[in-house]
Structure 1
Amino acid sequence: MELRVAYDDLQTAGFDSGGGEILHYKGKAFTGMVLELASDGTLIREEEFKNGHRDGVERSFFPNGQKQLEGFIRFNNPYGLYREWDINGNLINQYDWGPEP
């Protein structure tokens, strides 16, 4: 089962050589999904972390719940498809960052 926590529940343990934030949860490097929620509990953003580093999928959402952006990152580098949708769910932009580093 994947651990899903809010940003407020994590601690910054420093920054990696690429300038990416290293996050800890309860004193250990965090692995799981970090959620950013609006004051009403609506999901705004989610980012996947492994061993304290951003590693995997990143998504952001419109207030109506529709996906706005989706991409992938490893070692502070985007890879694979980056997609952007409008508020009605229409794909408006897509870019291929290339293979996973």
Structure 2
Amino acid sequence: MTTMRVEYDDVETEDDLRVTHQGKPFTGEVVERAPGGQVVALTTYFEGMEDGPAAEWYPTGERKAEGAVSYGTAIGVHQTWHRNGTLATHDEFDPKGKLLVRRRWDENGAVLEDRTHHG
């Protein structure tokens, strides 16, 4: 089965935050493009809810963010990068979306935050 992929402008975000395409809850991938046409975001949906991998890129092509969502809830490792390519954030979530680890760095790699969250 092929995954349906549509452009960001072809979907609607409803009041309950569900995404629809042609009036129906959307399942598949939504791509968002910069004015020049390059893909700057890819988000996966299931029955209108964000569900699956998501990624973002700077318009110049460098990766900006990536992570996964389970039916609207952040799970696993989510990371973001500064424009210069250095890691900016690293968050880890359990399967129910509880934040376990949060790390932040400045553009030079200096630690700004390093916390482990307990029960």
TM class by shorter-chain length? 0.7 to 0.9
Aligned to 1:8: 9
Instruction: Check the 8 A contact 1:14/1:23 in 2, yes or no.
Output: no
Equivalents in 1 of 2:42, 2:74: separation in Å?
Answer: 15
Equivalents in 1 of 2:80, 2:13: separation in Å?
Answer: 29
Q: Counterpart of 1:8 in 2: which secondary structure? A: helix
Report the Cα offset of residue 81 of structure 1.
Answer: 0.2
Report the Cα offset of residue 100 of structure 1.
Answer: 5.3
AA partner of residue 12 (structure 2)? Q
Does 2:98 correspond to 1:97?
no
Equivalents in 1 of 2:81, 2:13: separation in Å?
Answer: 31
Equivalents in 2 of 1:34, 1:79: separation in Å?
Answer: 19
The alignment yields a C-alpha RMSD, in angstroms, of: 1.8
Q: TM-score, normalised by structure 1?
A: 0.80
Q: TM-score, normalised by structure 2?
A: 0.69
AA partner of residue 22 (structure 1)? R
Structure 1: which 5+ runs fail to align?
16-20
Larger of the two Rg values belongs to structure: 2
Given the alignment, which residue of 52, 72, 77 partners 2:68? 72
Deviations 1:18-73 (A, max 9, x none): xxx11111232111111111111011211110001111122111122111111112
